[in-house]
Amino acid sequence: MLEIARANGTGPYGIFHRIGDSSWIVKPEIKKKLEDFIKLCNQAGVTRLKEWHTTPDEYFEIVNRVFNISMQSHLALGKKVTPLIPASTKYSGGNQNILTDGLRGTADWYYMWLGYEGNDMEIIIDLKEIKNINKISGEFLQDVGTWIFMPEYVRYSVSVDGENFQEIGTIINEVPEKEEGVIIRLFEKETEAVKARYIKVYAKNIGLCPGWHIGSGGKAWIFVDEIIVD
Domain parsing of the chain, residue ranges: 2-69, 81-229
* C-alpha angle 157-147-177 in degrees, rounded to nearest 5: 65
Q: Measured between alpha carbons, how far is 62 from 140 in angstroms, rounded to an integer? A: 16
pLDDT of residue 62: 83
What percent of the chain clears pLDDT 90, i.e. is strictly above it?
Answer: 67
Angle, helices 56-69/28-44, rounded to nearest 10 degrees: 170
**What value does the mean pLDDT of the chain take?**
91
The residue ranking higher by pLDDT, 187 or 17, is 187
- CATH for 81-229? 2.60.120.1190
Query: Which one of 16-20, 41-45, 89-93 scores highest in mean pLDDT?
Result: 41-45
214-222 mean pLDDT: 95
70 band by pLDDT with thresholds 50, 70 and 90: low
pLDDT of residue 22: 60
Output phi, psi for 135, to 5 deg: -160, 140
Tens-digit pLDDT profile for residues 170-188:
999 999 999 988 899 999 9
Tens-digit pLDDT profile for residues 132-157:
999 999 999 999 999 999 999 999 99
Q: Measured between alpha carbons, how far is 172 from 58 in angstroms, rounded to an integer? A: 30
